[in-house]
Structure formats: structure tokens, C-alpha cells
Amino acid sequence: MNTTLNKSQSKWITTSTIGVILCALLLFLYPKGYILGTVILLVISITAGFYKKLTWHKNLTLLAITIIIFTIPHIISLIQASGDISSVKKAARGIPLLLAGAFLIRFKPKQQFVYASFSLSLIIAFIIMVNEQMTGFNRANYAGFNINPLMIAIVAVMSFTLPNIHTNNIKLRILTYSGLILGATTIIMSESKGAFLALLTVLLIFLCMPSNLKRVSKKAYAGIICLLVLGSIAVMSIGTNNPLVSRVSDASRNFITHIENPNSDEKESSTSIRLELWKGALVLLSEKPIFGYGTFPAHKRMGELYDEGYLAKYMGKYTQTHFHSMYFQALGNRGLFGLSTVILLLLIPGYILLKHKLINPTYSLSGLLVIISYIVTGIADVSLSSTSASSTYFVLILLCVSQVSAYKVEAHPAKAK
């Protein structure tokens, strides 16, 4: 009897491992890969549910409540805007994955294979980037991806894999370092300022975290420091002609210039456009502070602000875009209530991961670093509204939360003879 149970358990664990591996490998393989990966994982979970192989946990209940609350202001925005259904779909995309969480709690995938597959996904992203560079890189169309959400997703996966540098498996350690190095190279080649800043932040926080939150040897510390130093030397050695260095330098200069002379219309840049959009979002917040305008009415009001001369002259073609910030997007479209739900979606998973960190410290730290990466990238991009970036967030958070959630195997007493 026990042998049969062990074989069944082993098969389901193998199945859960395969599901997560496919989800990871398809993430960056092609533009809709994240959809296929999550569908495969959900089909496996539904099948497990048919055989009564799912285990619900209070952590999933807390996550479910958080995601539903996060979705509510989007529904209010839909009612106000009469048609912005895509926003609701993106906000609620984490709800079906709760089913996968219930499956992964019951049958925890093999950790080394999970981390190996996500490291491979970073290598896949690098290979595609190299191909793009060889065929003529265009930031507006990177292999069918939207470049900014894709780079946010890559930073999230790097944050997830980073804690695995302490593994005793030398092959997996080499694979993890390769994924991290090539992932960082992909971000540098993409010229993505926000993603690069988020990656630096994650690395610095990781190095400064208390030792009781991570199990990293002195060799691993030395390796990370060497990686940072060599990476910095590589970037700086390219000089000011490096596109990323130039973009960062231009952004800093444009920020200072715009702050000093906000009414100047001489310079149009991604930085000045963002600052103007955020200024408009604050006006919208002051007018409708609780629930905001809703997506389309917010666009209309931004157009009116432009006509009134409140926004810079070059903003005419940008009043109908999103606010280029996860936080200002929430404020402008969904008000203070919307912003509070964004903060909850970031903090509640962090609370769960910290509370249960002793069950699986590696997954706990991985999830916390993922959350940090989204907090930073969300400053200048709509990280939780973009498809690939938001899907990656929900997948990684559900994976990490499920792996720090305890599952007690029920006893099966022997039948009386």
C-alpha cells in the first residue's frame, strides 16, 4: 500500500516539475509563450483536481483576497470607462493560477530543476537578443515583444534565480551564474534604463540582506561581487558611446533640466514626457481622489489639460497613453483606492514569504527579490499592467508562496486484520 502511494506521489511530483519547467522555458521563447506555459500548468492542475490531488492553504486564501481587491478598482474603472475590459483581464490573471498554487503545495516540484529551467529561460532571452542585434535591433519590436515589459520580466526571473547561487550542485551553480550574466547582458543590450536600475537595486539589497534571510557562502559573496565589478568594468569600458550609458546620462540631465525649468518646451525626452504625465496624474487625483476617472475618461481629461496649456506643447500626442508608472497609473485612473490595491499586491505576498521563510528560505528570498524588482521597475513603467510582466509576477509569486506553504501528509493507518 505504501509503495503504491509513494509511486503515485512520485509521479505527481514529476508532473508538477515538468509543468513548471515548461512554464519557465516558454516564458521568453516567443511572444505568447507565457500564455501557453500557464495554460499547460493550469491543465495539469485541473487534472490533479479531478483526481482530488489539490491542497488549499490559508496563504492562497490571503492571496486570493489580495488579487480580488486588486481587481475591484479595475472593475470600477471599467464601469466608468464603459469598455476597458482588458485592464480587468490583466488584473485578474492571477486568479486562475491559484489553482496551480494548490497543486504545487501538494506536490512540490524539484527545486533544482525549477531553478535550472528559469536560468535556461534567461539564456534563451539572451540568444534571441543576440539574433535581434545581428538582424538590426529595434526597440519598438524585439522579436514581437514589447521591450520594456519583457525586460521587467527578465529582471524578475533574474531576481528569482539569484538566491540559488548557494547551491551545492556545481552544474546548477554554473547554469545559474550563466543565466544571471547573460540576463544582465540582455538588459544592457536592450538599453532598458528602468530594468537595469531594478537589477542593480536587487543585487545591492541581496548583498546587504541579513545572513538569517539567506544561506550564502563566502565564495558565493565573492562571486557576486566579482560579477558586479566585472560587469561594471565591461559597461564602463565601452565608454559613453554605449547606448545604455548614454540613455542613463541623458535621463539624469533631462530630469534636472525639467525640474529647473518645467515650463520649457525646448527638449522632448522620455524623462520629460514621464514627468509631464505624472504632473497630469496628480491633477486627476486632486479632482477625483478616491476612485479616479477610469481609463478612457482619464485620457480625455489629460487632453483637456493639454488644451488648457497645463502640459508642455510636445505632449499633444502623449495624452492618450498610459502614465508610464505603475503608481501614477493607479492614481490617475483609479485614485487612492487603486494605488492602495497595488501596494497590497506587493506587500501581502512579501508578508507571506517572510512569515514562512523557515519552510523554504531559498524560495522565500526569491519571492522577496522579485517583489523588490517590481517595486523599482514600477516607478517608471506600468509593470503590473503589461501582459508579459504581470504574468511573470503572478507565476513567480504563486510558485514562491506555494513552496513556503507547509503541507502535512495525512496518515493512512493500516487496516485491522
Q: Which pLDDT tens digit goes with each residue over 333-357?
A: 999 999 999 999 999 999 999 999 9
Q: Rounded to the nearest 5 degrees, what angle is found at the Cα of 74, between the Cα atoms of 73 and 75?
A: 90
Q: Coil, strand, or helix at residue 173?
A: helix
Predicted confidence band of residue 378 (pLDDT cuts 50, 70, 90): very high
Q: Which residues contact 140 (CB under 8 A, 6 or more apart)?
A: 147
- CB 384 within 8 Å of CB 238: no
Burial class (CB in 10 A: 0-12, 13-18, 19+), 259: exposed
Predicted local confidence at residue 248, as pLDDT: 55
- Which three cell numbers mark 48? 490533479
Residue 145 DSSP class: B
Q: Report how far residue 40's alpha carbon sits from residue 19's, in angstroms, rounded to the nearest whole number.
A: 7
- Placement of cell 503515485 in the chain: 8
pLDDT greater at residue 121 or residue 320: 121
Beta strands in 131-288 (DSSP E): none
Provide the mean pLDDT of the chain. Answer: 84
- Of 112-121, 265-274, 305-314, where does mean pLDDT reach its minimum? 265-274
Predicted local confidence at residue 407, as pLDDT: 80
- Which three cell numbers mark 118? 528559469
pLDDT at 42 over 60: yes
pLDDT greater at residue 68 or residue 136: 68
Q: Report how far residue 90's alpha carbon sits from residue 92's, in angstroms, rounded to the nearest whole number.
A: 6
- Of 69-83, 132-146, 357-371, where does mean pLDDT reach its minimum? 132-146
Average pLDDT for residues 370-399, to the nearest whole number? 94
pTM: 0.88
- CB 143 within 8 Å of CB 31: yes
- Of 218-227, 280-289, 373-382, where does mean pLDDT reach its minimum? 218-227
pLDDT at 413 over 50: no
pLDDT at 73 over 50: yes
Q: Report how far residue 155's alpha carbon sits from residue 150's, in angstroms, rounded to the nearest whole number.
A: 9
Beta strands in 139-270 (DSSP E): none
Counting residues of the chain whose pLDDT is more than 90, the rounded percentage is 52
| Number of CB atoms found within 10 A of residue 137's CB | 17
pLDDT at 58 over 70: yes
- Of 111-120, 153-162, 186-195, 402-411, where does mean pLDDT reach its minimum? 402-411
Predicted local confidence at residue 5, as pLDDT: 59
| Number of CB atoms found within 10 A of residue 377's CB | 31
Q: Report how far residue 16's alpha carbon sits from residue 107's, in angstroms, rounded to the nearest whole number.
A: 6
Predicted local confidence at residue 284, as pLDDT: 94
- Which three cell numbers mark 331? 492614481
In sequence order, the β-bridge partners of residue 142 are 145
Predicted local confidence at residue 296, as pLDDT: 86
In 3D space, the residue among 326, 373, 405 whose CA is nearest the CA of residue 63 turns out to be 405
Helix/strand/coil percent split, the chain, to 5: 75, 0, 25
- CB 63 within 8 Å of CB 36: no
Predicted local confidence at residue 416, as pLDDT: 36
Predicted local confidence at residue 411, as pLDDT: 43
Q: Which residues contact 108 (CB under 8 A, 6 or more apart)?
A: 13, 16, 402, 403, 407
- CB 295 within 8 Å of CB 84: yes
| Number of CB atoms found within 10 A of residue 232's CB | 11
Q: Which residues contact 60 (CB under 8 A, 6 or more apart)?
A: 98, 101, 102, 105, 401, 402, 405
In 3D space, the residue among 65, 66, 101, 70 whose CA is nearest the CA of residue 88 turns out to be 70
The identity of residue 266, as a single letter, is: E
